Amino acid sequence: MTKIIKKFIEGIESDENNIDIKEILSDSDIKVFEKWVQIFNSITPFTIKDGLKLIDSSFTMGKRDEVILISYIKFFEQKLKHLKEG
């Protein structure tokens, strides 16, 4: 388990259930974290195409970023399929 995930789990399991991202991530990691939170908030299962257009025009993304984003969209697809079946 990575150190970041381990610390995150410890925060979830603590009595306070309080996670301070600044204690877990470096300044450069926080920038990446904030970027991805903005990206994820730009897309819903019902606004994928428009969300992708907005993301494409708003963020600089490398190949790895694009793979992560497409994985997130696949996640939506699978969840919607599961909801329709259930």
Give how far Cα 80 sits from Cα of 9, 38, 42, 47, 83, Å: 27, 22, 18, 13, 5
pLDDT for 1 equals 59
The contacts of residue 68 (CB under 8 Å, 6+ apart) are 36
In the chain, what percentage of residues exceed pLDDT 70?
99
Residues of the chain with pLDDT under 70: 1
pTM, full prediction? 0.78
